[in-house]
Amino acid sequence: MLISVSFVDNPGGLFISGLMFVGADGVFESLGYIHKSGMEHITLPDDQYVRGFEVAIDMCGIRAIAAITEDGTVSSWAGDPEDCPRRRIIDSEGISFLVAGFDALKLVSLSRDRISRQVQEPRDRFLWYPEIPPPELFFDGVLPLNEKTDRKVPIMTTFFGENDGRYKTQMTAVGSHIFDWCHIIRINFEFTDDSIQRCLGDVAFEVKRADVPLRFEGHGNSVGFFEIDGGGGEEIVSLEAQTDEDFNLSTNRTELLSNADGPFDVPWTKVTPRGKKIIGMFSQGSGWGMESPKRILVAGGSGFLGGHIVRQLLKSAETTVAIVSRHPKMPADVADESRVLLHAADLTVPKQIEQVFETLKPHAVIHAASPPYLDTPANLMKANIDGTKALLKTASACADTCAFVFTSSDSAVLPTQEPLSEDDSVLYDETNAPNAYAMSKATAERLVLASNSEQLRTAAVRIPATYGEYDTNFVPQLIQSIRRKEHKMQVGNDTKVFEFLYVKKAAEAHILAMTALFDLETRDKAGGQAFFISNGKPQKFFDFCRKFYAAAGHPVALEEVTRIPFPVMQAMASMAEWVYWVLTLGYIKPGMRRTAIDHLDSGCCWSLEKAKRILGYEPVADQDETIRKTMEWAMETL
């Protein structure tokens, strides 16, 4: 199939004006205004149906569109999606009928003709439900749940009075459908004329959701009503809302009080519109109360990567996180410590892990715990292999746990200088592993992927060297090099390329993998799979380091670099290890280790296509900006 996309250029920019769908037999259907000059084309495989679309939007219309095929692949974009909010409309059984809305020049809304029979994420169900708001309207309300959400473009909007308020006098009630005591899942607007139907939220609320655990079983689900005498002149004049929880209406006759019976101490926000009258409501929450309460166990959640995973998990108001570590501590700058539980446990002691699972009953495990790269072989093998075995065994035995994400490493995979896919990659084994860390991580990954089952879906996220705020390894070493005047030194000729990863994207990838294992549509594709995750910008190691030096105000020109031959550094590292062994009987390790020097001669280069296709992962957009932020933090903190 070929999708041809037509554009119109107006003072607000370039927008889509029409779509043309051309089948393999040459038969075509078109929507909107087709301008044949300057069209862009999306080619799709003939053996797959169109599962949905992703669009880049703003208040004036649709700027770009991509198609999503049967296997979940997102096509190339027609138009420019940069710097625009994106929405998806997906039907797992395929889309064969579209409803499009146009103004005098361009496409402004897109929707499908039915609700999918399968459970889907809210972000995939709605695309301006039921209509896109006109730009002249005021949007006053509770701030968006997601800071990336454009407040000017609501995810869902309903005009119960139409744009001119014509139905306000026919309104009789506003009904709220409440899930698990406190989460409003849908708002219905009722009128004297039954043919007028308006609602905001989940249009398929009645679908049985027996698989969703309730935190407040004694309260369950309920329905409430605000009666409104629209015919007698009563109308809504203000709202009072709690983010992702509750709301109340005030009319010109009745001041409704806040509901003090909720389980959470969430502040109320009063919304008094600036316009002359309220004719509709909107929602910015991508889940809009549909997000199931989740309990997530993060092994290693007090560490560098684990801490970032915890912070990102807590962005969901429905998530409780348990940090498991031998010496657990609260990560810095956690938004809501009340939803973080600290459990002291040794992963290699099964009874301790079983006690944690009995207490928490986690829905998912993210296993980001590991000793340092240069720890002793005994510690690495015990923690990474025995600890992973114990976690997997306990997770498999827990009826509530259905997802397990493991943090793997570039060190577990045989290196390559050509873009490597997961299918072509080879894990180290006992015959060829260069060190204990590589051996232990490769073995642990095999255990995780082999444990994938209908009860427990598993996945491995392979990450390279990470950097970012709160780094305790890579960035502190760079700062130390600057302070010791060693930042102009380089080992070898720096010919091998490496992958690198901003820690916030690493954390995001783990959550994407967990979400994919939960999702009915993607769990079979993600389960039992490993995913390469990186910035998508392979580069030479010391070239990359010099970007950090420059960001810290210490740029290094190539002619200033002092190159130390690689064999010389290997010999020096080996000698240092031998001397320390003789003098301390191995109890103290030198700062320079042969294993670390050898790693500089390995390198890696990965393809991220699998992670993009199945997880929806997108590499960091501006690597230089992440480096700037990291060094700004480091120079102030370290």
Q: Which amino acid is at 153?
A: V
As a whole number, the mean pLDDT across the chain is: 83
Tokens coding 237:
């004049």
- The per-residue pLDDT for range 247-302, each reduced to its tens digit, is 788 888 887 654 546 666 666 777 777 677 788 887 765 444 334 568 999 999 99
Task: Return the higher-pLDDT residue of 21 and 243.
Answer: 21
Q: What number is the average pLDDT over the span 563-589?
A: 61
Residues 455 and 566 in one domain: yes
pLDDT band for 226, please (50, 70, 90 cuts): confident
pLDDT at 588 over 80: no
How many Å apart are CA 611 and CA 66, to the nearest integer? 18
Question: What is the DSSP code (8-state) at residue 182?
Answer: T
Given 73, 91, 118, the domain boundary residue is 118
How many Å apart are CA 411 and CA 258, to the nearest integer? 55
Is residue 407 within 8 A of residue 368, CB to CB? The reply is: yes
Q: How many CB atoms lie within 10 A of CB 526?
A: 26
How many Å apart are CA 306 and CA 595, to the nearest integer? 25
Top-ranked range on mean pLDDT: pick from 78-87, 196-205, 376-385, 597-606: 376-385
Q: Residue 496 is part of a domain; what is its CATH number?
A: 3.40.50.720
Task: Classify strands 319-325 and 294-299 as parallel, antiparallel or unpaired.
Answer: parallel
Nearest to 160 by CA among 169, 149, 168: 168
Tokens coding 583:
């003098």
Give the DSSP letter string of 258-296: P-TT-SS-PPPEEE--SSSS---EEE--SSTT-SPPEEE
Task: Return the higher-pLDDT residue of 459 and 30.
Answer: 459
Tell me the backbone φ, ψ of residue 615, rounded to 5 degrees: -95, -20
Residues 279 and 305 in one domain: no
Total domains, the chain: 3
- The per-residue pLDDT for range 337-352, each reduced to its tens digit, is 888 999 999 999 999 9
pLDDT band for 591, please (50, 70, 90 cuts): low
Tokens coding 322:
């348990």
Q: Environment class of residue 346 by beta-carbon count within 10 Å: exposed (0-12), middle (13-18) or buried (19+)?
A: middle
- The per-residue pLDDT for range 353-408, each reduced to its tens digit, is 999 999 999 999 999 999 998 888 999 999 999 999 999 999 999 988 999 999 99
Length of the chain: 638
How many Å apart are CA 163 and CA 124, to the nearest integer? 27
Q: Environment class of residue 488 by beta-carbon count within 10 Å: exposed (0-12), middle (13-18) or buried (19+)?
A: middle
Q: How many CB atoms lie within 10 A of CB 219?
A: 14
Nearest to 68 by CA among 85, 46, 44: 44
Within a domain: 30: yes
Nearest to 391 by CA among 406, 380, 378, 375: 406
Residues 258 and 244 in one domain: yes
Given 231, 258, 292, the domain boundary residue is 292
Render the burial of 243-278: b for 16+ CB within 10 Å, e for the rest: bbbbbbbbbeeeeeeeeeeeeeeeeeeebebeeeeb
The reported pLDDT for the residue numbered 287 is 44
Establish how many alpha carbons lie within 13 A of residue 409's alpha carbon, considering only the half-sphere containing its beta carbon. Answer: 24
Long-range residue pairs from 545-550, CB within 8 A, at least 24 positions apart, any chain = 545/478, 545/481, 545/487, 546/487, 547/624, 547/627, 548/467, 548/475, 548/478, 548/627, 548/630, 548/631, 549/478, 549/481, 549/482, 549/487
Within a domain: 478: no
Residues 588 and 454 in one domain: yes
The reported pLDDT for the residue numbered 601 is 74
The reported pLDDT for the residue numbered 221 is 73
Tokens coding 300:
């290693």
Q: Residue 144 is part of a domain; what is its CATH number?
A: 2.100.10
Residues 77 and 216 in one domain: no
The reported pLDDT for the residue numbered 119 is 40
Is residue 149 within 8 A of residue 284, CB to CB? The reply is: yes
Residues 429 and 461 in one domain: yes
Is residue 590 within 8 A of residue 504, CB to CB? The reply is: no
Q: How many CB atoms lie within 10 A of CB 103?
A: 13
pLDDT at 413 over 90: yes
The reported pLDDT for the residue numbered 269 is 75
Q: What percentage of the chain exceeds 70 in pLDDT?
A: 80
pLDDT at 120 over 60: no
How many Å apart are CA 75 and CA 68, to the nearest integer? 6
How many Å apart are CA 171 and CA 235, to the nearest integer? 9
| Residues acting as catalytic residues | 441
pLDDT at 627 over 80: yes
CA 301 to chain CA centroid, nearest Å: 17
Within a domain: 531: yes
Residues 160 and 258 in one domain: yes
Residues 197 and 307 in one domain: no
Given 292, 313, 330, the domain boundary residue is 292
Q: What percentage of the chain exceeds 90 in pLDDT?
A: 46
Tokens coding 74:
């997102």
Nearest to 66 by CA among 89, 47, 49: 89
Three-class secondary structure of residue 592 per DSSP: coil
pLDDT at 201 over 80: no
Give one word for 21, left, alpha or beta, with left for phi > 0 and alpha for psi -120 to 50.
Answer: beta
The reported pLDDT for the residue numbered 262 is 64
Is residue 531 within 8 A of residue 422, CB to CB? The reply is: yes
How many Å apart are CA 101 and CA 17, to the nearest integer? 10
Q: What is the pTM of this model?
A: 0.58
How many Å apart are CA 123 and CA 126, to the nearest integer? 6
Residues 284 and 298 in one domain: no
The reported pLDDT for the residue numbered 527 is 97
- The per-residue pLDDT for range 316-344, each reduced to its tens digit, is 867 899 999 999 999 998 877 888 999 99
Establish how many alpha carbons lie within 13 A of residue 201's alpha carbon, considering only the half-sphere containing its beta carbon. Answer: 21
Q: How many CB atoms lie within 10 A of CB 373?
A: 19
Cα-based distances in Å from 364 to 106, 291, 360, 391, 433 = 44, 15, 11, 11, 30
The reported pLDDT for the residue numbered 573 is 56
pLDDT at 497 over 70: yes
How many Å apart are CA 564 and CA 337, to the nearest integer? 48
Q: What number is the average pLDDT over the span 432-440?
A: 94
Within a domain: 123: no
Residues 433 and 455 in one domain: yes
Task: Give me the domain span that covers residue 72.
Answer: 1-118
Cα-based distances in Å from 457 to 84, 359, 363, 401, 451 = 34, 21, 11, 9, 8
Q: What number is the average pLDDT over the span 159-182?
A: 80
pLDDT band for 7, please (50, 70, 90 cuts): very high
Q: Residue 28 is part of a domain; what is its CATH number?
A: 2.100.10.30
The reported pLDDT for the residue numbered 130 is 43
Residues 333 and 248 in one domain: no
Within a domain: 479: no
pLDDT band for 48, please (50, 70, 90 cuts): confident
The reported pLDDT for the residue numbered 503 is 98
Nearest to 236 by CA among 223, 224, 254, 260: 254
The reported pLDDT for the residue numbered 41 is 94
Within a domain: 278: yes
The reported pLDDT for the residue numbered 211 is 46
Is residue 495 within 8 A of residue 567, CB to CB? The reply is: no
- The per-residue pLDDT for range 443-495, each reduced to its tens digit, is 999 999 999 998 899 999 999 999 999 999 999 999 999 999 999 988 888 88
Task: Return the higher-pLDDT residue of 175 and 368.
Answer: 368
Nearest to 406 by CA among 360, 358, 357, 456: 456
Within a domain: 550: no
Residues 368 and 354 in one domain: yes
Within a domain: 475: no
Give the DSSP letter string of 31-48: EE----TT-EEEE--TTS
